[in-house]
Amino acid sequence: MFLTKEQQMMLDGEYGFAIAKLTKLVVKIGEVNDATKLIPIKNAQIAGVSYFTVGDPIFSFFNMLSKDKVKVSVPSWLNPAGMDMERWEEMGVLESFADKQRRIIQHYKEMGIETTLTCTPYLIGHQPKLGDHLAWSESSAVSMANAYYGARTNREGGPSSLASAIIGYTADYGLHKVENRVPSIIVDVNTSTANFSDFSALGYWYGEKFHGVIPYFKGIKNTHIDQVKMLGAAMAASGSVAHFHIENHTPEARKVDMNYITNIVSFDEKDKKQVYDHFNQIKEDANLVVIGCPHSSLEDIQYIHSTLGEKSIKEGIEFWIFSSQKLMQTDDAKKFLTNLEVKGVKIFTDTCMVVTPVIRRNYKNILTNSAKAAFYLTRDGTNKVNLLSLFEIMEGVSE
């Protein structure tokens, strides 16, 4: 691999032990993937935040970094934590967990990282630009950056995204290269995608069948950002698909030479039904609704507010929405929050149903409109879920 003089000095320890270790990590990842150089990044989105997922080993890593007092060299922000940083007791999080979670956040803050604690940074002002090279790590954020905005990022791990944020470079391989961003499969969508859950079902179906392969979707009429995020999130969860194209909608779709794609498949009503049937697992009463995987937008919350109307959530059912604190602090959001909370809807920020320990510990039967959430919540057999449209959920749990 060719390194510039500065990069070689970083690798050789001229900027300290921690910088050398981080540079070595990025270089080694590049070498494994046949990268010939490092490229500068515009910004980084860093996973490895929830104490539930990283555990105590992360503190050894932080100790190594803190000795050299390293800081990020590009704008950087964090993935969700394992709890709402202010309302963690209300969620049922234990004090011992909360203490370690706060320590993790403090370490990141000391490195100059913005503690956004969201998987949807693009909803709070961090929209990448076409062609930007990034080091993003959360799977749904990666797919949105690549597909919806036309930026370029591989799915980084927590340590590698942090390393790139600090040294300012990532290895030039994978989705950073134009030739690796072309689709190999055309997907004809021949059924309705009227609900967010339909987009989620489509994504889950595709990812499960065509793991890691970039698709080109035809037949999708509407592509509001919330619809696309549900599609990409489900694909990333079920099949590690980090990029996709939608005809007439995503920025790189018009550049695709369709003549070279010979693999054509269809997504029909029966395929969609199979996904819903797969996640139709609850045979008794549900006790929790979780919305916000990926994090809810203001439009999501406005829809829940208007659909609920004068009704309230039925007794015995918890209804949790997950979103970003920054979004919920806006004047528009505050118009809905108080009224929703009175009616039994709780809005938690900084975390989500996948990375907090309380869901698996305290709840068994869960309703959601997200196939990504359904996939992760049911992986270890602890929870059962029903995947439904948001309208169906609201109709079933309100009175």
pLDDT value at residue 357:
95
Whether residue 51 contacts residue 97, with contact meaning beta carbons closer than 8 Å, is answered with yes
| CATH code of the domain containing 376 | 3.30.499.10
What average pLDDT score do residues 226-255 get? 97
What average pLDDT score do residues 188-197 get? 96
Do both 13 and 121 map to the same domain?
A: yes
Instruction: Give the pLDDT band of residue 222 (cuts 50, 70, 90).
Output: confident
Do both 170 and 198 map to the same domain?
A: no
Domain boundary, last residue among 178, 201, 228: 178
Do both 112 and 43 map to the same domain?
A: yes
Q: Which H/E stretch holds residue 220? A: none
Domain boundary, last residue among 160, 178, 196: 178
- Using the Cα atoms of residue 300, residue 145, residue 112 and residue 19 in order, give the sign of their dihedral: positive
Do both 268 and 311 map to the same domain?
A: no
pLDDT at 27 over 90: yes
Q: Which of 15-29, 168-182, 331-345, 361-375 has the lowest mean pLDDT?
A: 331-345
pLDDT value at residue 59:
95
> Over the stretch 113-166, which tens digit does the pLDDT of each residue have?
999 999 999 999 999 999 999 999 999 999 999 999 999 999 999 999 999 999
What average pLDDT score do residues 199-209 get? 98
Residue 54's contacts (CB-CB under 8 Å, 6 or more residues apart) are 48, 104, 158
pLDDT value at residue 129:
98
Give me the chain's average pLDDT, please: 96
Do both 374 and 232 map to the same domain?
A: no
pLDDT value at residue 74:
98
pLDDT at 30 over 90: yes
pLDDT value at residue 335:
86
Do both 58 and 162 map to the same domain?
A: yes
Category of 183 on φ-ψ map: left (φ > 0), alpha (ψ -120 to 50) or beta? beta
pLDDT at 177 over 90: yes
Instruction: Give the pLDDT band of residue 332 (cuts 50, 70, 90).
Output: confident
Burial pattern 250-263, b for ≥16 Cβ within 10 A else e, equals bebbeebeeeeeee
What average pLDDT score do residues 173-187 get? 98
Q: Cis peptide before 357, with omega less than 30 degrees from 0?
A: no
Q: What percentage of the chain reaches a pLDDT higher than 90?
A: 95
Do both 250 and 290 map to the same domain?
A: no
Do both 190 and 171 map to the same domain?
A: no
Distance CA 86, CA 349 (A): 9
Do both 231 and 146 map to the same domain?
A: no
Pairing of strands 345-349, 365-368: unpaired
Do both 151 and 231 map to the same domain?
A: no
What is the tally of structural domains in the chain? 3
> Over the stretch 46-97, which tens digit does the pLDDT of each residue have?
999 999 999 999 999 999 999 999 999 999 999 999 999 999 999 999 999 9
Do both 242 and 254 map to the same domain?
A: yes
Distance CA 344, CA 84 (A): 18
| CATH code of the domain containing 52 | 3.30.499
Beta strands per DSSP E along 118-271 = 135-136, 169-171, 185-189, 215-218, 245-246, 263-267
What average pLDDT score do residues 270-274 get? 98
The tokens for 28 are 């080694």
Pairing of strands 169-171, 38-40: antiparallel
39 pairs with which residues across the strands? 170
In angstroms, the Cα distances linking 42 to 15, 46, 126, 166 are 21, 13, 11, 12
Q: Which of 23-27, 80-84, 180-184, 381-385 has the lowest mean pLDDT?
A: 381-385
Instruction: Give the range of the structural domain holding residue 309, as residue numbers without chain letter.
Output: 279-397
pLDDT value at residue 380:
87
Domain boundary, last residue among 117, 150, 178: 178
Do both 161 and 267 map to the same domain?
A: no
> Over the stretch 294-325, which tens digit does the pLDDT of each residue have?
999 999 999 999 999 999 999 999 999 999 99
Q: Which of 101-110, 269-278, 281-290 has the lowest mean pLDDT?
A: 281-290
